[in-house]
């Protein structure tokens, strides 16, 4: 009976690992979509001249530090890079750092559109990789748990 408890605990640990990985992937996906939504809204604001870009960034929860950096004598581009350095996801950071706040409106809109496209491609690639990794991880956990149960019996 004790052996079955041990096998059950091993299976539970494996399932817990799967759950943690799934939560991590969901958090990364959510963060990615927040940035996509922010860039889409930014493009719309620029296109229709509703507010200035710095005012728009100041209103957004994930970029509201822009005005603080700009008051500290940083340019808009430098402030953007400082904020992006705190994202915590290197792939997203690299894409967002490529947005340039110089040039005319069309150049900026093209830069934002390119970043949105790259972020969507990243999300698609991650979704495919995650599906494959989940299948492999699930198979490994259940195989190991099954083998341990057989060995313990």
| pLDDT (tens digit per residue) in 19-58 | 898 899 899 999 999 999 999 999 998 888 777 787 888 8
pTM for the full predicted model: 0.79
Is residue 74 within 8 A of residue 82, CB to CB? The reply is yes
Residue 11 has pLDDT above 90, yes or no: no
Q: Which of 151, 140, 127, 133 is nearest to 15 (CA)?
A: 140
Residue 123 has pLDDT above 90, yes or no: yes
Mean pLDDT of the chain: 87
Higher pLDDT, 71 or 149: 71
- In the numeric block, the tokens 């958090």 are attached to 27
Which tokens go with 34?
Answer: 């927040």
């Amino acid at each position: 009976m004790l052996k079955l408890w041990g096998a059950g605990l091993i299976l539970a640990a494996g399932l817990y690992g799967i759950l943690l990985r799934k939560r991590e992937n969901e958090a990364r996906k959510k963060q990615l979509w927040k940035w996509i939504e922010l860039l889409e809204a930014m493009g719309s604001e620029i296109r229709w001249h509703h507010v200035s870009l710095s005012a728009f960034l100041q209103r957004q929860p994930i970029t509201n530090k822009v005005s603080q950096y700009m008051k500290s004598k940083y340019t808009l581009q430098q402030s953007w890079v400082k904020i992006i350095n705190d994202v915590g996801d290197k792939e997203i950071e690299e894409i967002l750092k490529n947005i340039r706040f110089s040039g005319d409106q069309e150049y900026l809109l093209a830069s934002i559109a390119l970043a949105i496209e790259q972020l969507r491609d990243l999300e698609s690639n991650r979704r495919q990789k995650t599906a494959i990794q989940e299948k492999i991880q699930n198979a490994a956990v259940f195989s190991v748990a099954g083998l341990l149960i057989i060995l313990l019996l």
